[in-house]
């Protein structure tokens, strides 16, 4: 999860730079990866919460 969060922060920094939109192909691939990471993070966090609930007797 930490590695995905770090990659997400890096991608967000790149996507917030004004010059990125001069390269539409790169911007598109960065945006696609950012969306993929968002999905992966949600899946992993849901799994973590489920496992934490089991550990706590839920």
Q: Shortest CA distance to 40 belongs to which of 7, 10, 14, 16?
A: 7
CA torsion angle 41 44 49 52 (round to 10): -140
Is-contact 43 53, C-beta < 8 A?
no
Is-contact 14 20, C-beta < 8 A?
yes
pLDDT at 58: 66
pLDDT of 10-53, one tens digit each? 999 999 999 998 999 999 999 999 999 999 999 999 999 999 99
């Amino acid at each position: 999860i930490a590695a995905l969060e770090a990659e997400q922060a890096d991608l967000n920094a790149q996507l917030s730079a004004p010059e990125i939109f001069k390269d539409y192909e790169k911007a598109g691939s960065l945006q696609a990866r950012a969306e993929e990471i968002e999905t992966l993070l949600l899946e992993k966090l849901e799994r973590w919460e489920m496992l934490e609930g089991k550990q706590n007797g839920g």
